[in-house]
Amino acid sequence: MSPAKRAMARAKVNLSLRIAGRRPDGYHELESLVVFPDTGDRLTADPATDLTLDIEGPFADDLTGEADNLVLRAAHALLAETGSGRGARIVLDKYLPVASGIGGGSADAAAALNLLNELWDAQLDHETLARIALELGADVPVCLDAAPAFMTGIGERVARLPALPDFVLLLVNPGVAVPTGEVFARLDAALLTEGREEAPPPSFATLDELLQWLARHPNDLEAPAMEIAPAIGVVLRKLDTLPGALLARMSGSGATCFAIFSDRNDAQDALSILSADYPDWWCAAAPVVTG
């Protein structure tokens, strides 16, 4: 019997998120620089006769009774692709807040695909896994590698980036719900024009170059999200005051925000400050996987 397999489903953070426009089918095309700090949910899979999922951890209750969990959907999609009748006992340790703009569900699904591909010795290549991932959600393919990438289209086109300079992210979620659909509904996005050229993937030799690029490429969803959840503005203003914080911004459609630090000790000191001042906020500090 195969031994248990383990994987981390790292948080997906949108350092930038530009909305290029709205397609005739209602979907929005985007351009986003995505990174993955070394923190996230954890998955364990043991061989079993049946396919089951147990959810543990601090945010397990937020998924209790969910009939369409992405981890199980990923497992069933893998079984359908391989024609296998294999089983697994999957345990998801839910550490990341649910529906919080850092791709927790997408990261869990991608980690499940990688994990079960190995546990079941399915030997599916990356292209096949990416196709299955896209069927699960536009954000799932970029989470397969959990490495710096530039996303375009509705998120399905993923360009891996050269190694980034080292930096640390402080993630903060004030515990408010921000429905993604409502954020996009408040966004005044023009219809896409035919023949539009996508921006090329960027590259950065230094952290200063990255910060200069980010200054020109904000998160277009930040303003409409703050209209729905003013607490996001409170978080961003607090992050801006922390010693060593180089840039503060919202990730995805919110409500999780982040601050960039060049020094791990500065990020840990900032984490201590926030944890003391705002004990109800979820906070985590971690270096970014840069290559």
Of 135-149, 153-167, 181-195, minimum mean pLDDT range? 181-195
Enumerate residues 6+ apart whose C-beta is below 8 A from 194: none
Across the chain, what does the average pLDDT equal?
94
Does the structure show a pLDDT above 70 at 1? no
Q: Which helix (H) or strand (E) holds 121?
A: none
Closest CA to 16 of 261, 235, 201: 201
pLDDT tens-place string over residues 109-138 = 999 999 999 999 999 999 999 999 999 999
What is the average pLDDT across 209-235?
A: 97
| Residue range 5-160, CATH number | 3.30.230.10
Domain extent listing, the chain: 5-160, 168-287
Does the structure show a pLDDT above 80 at 196? no
- Enter the tokens of residue 169: 């992210």
User: pLDDT tier at 194 (50, 70, 90 boundaries)?
Assistant: low
Does the structure show a pLDDT above 70 at 72? yes
Residue 94 catalytic?
Answer: no
The identity of residue 5, as a single letter, is K
Percent of the chain with pLDDT over 70: 97
Kindly report the CATH class assigned to 168-287. alpha beta
Q: Which of 41, 93, 108, 139 is catalytic?
A: 139
pTM for the whole structure:
0.95
Residue 12 catalytic?
Answer: yes
The confidence score (pLDDT) of residue 66 equals: 65
Alpha helix segments (H runs only) across the chain: 70-82, 104-119, 126-136, 140-143, 180-186, 207-216, 222-228, 231-241, 264-277
The confidence score (pLDDT) of residue 80 equals: 96
Q: Which of 5, 12, 94, 238 is catalytic?
A: 12
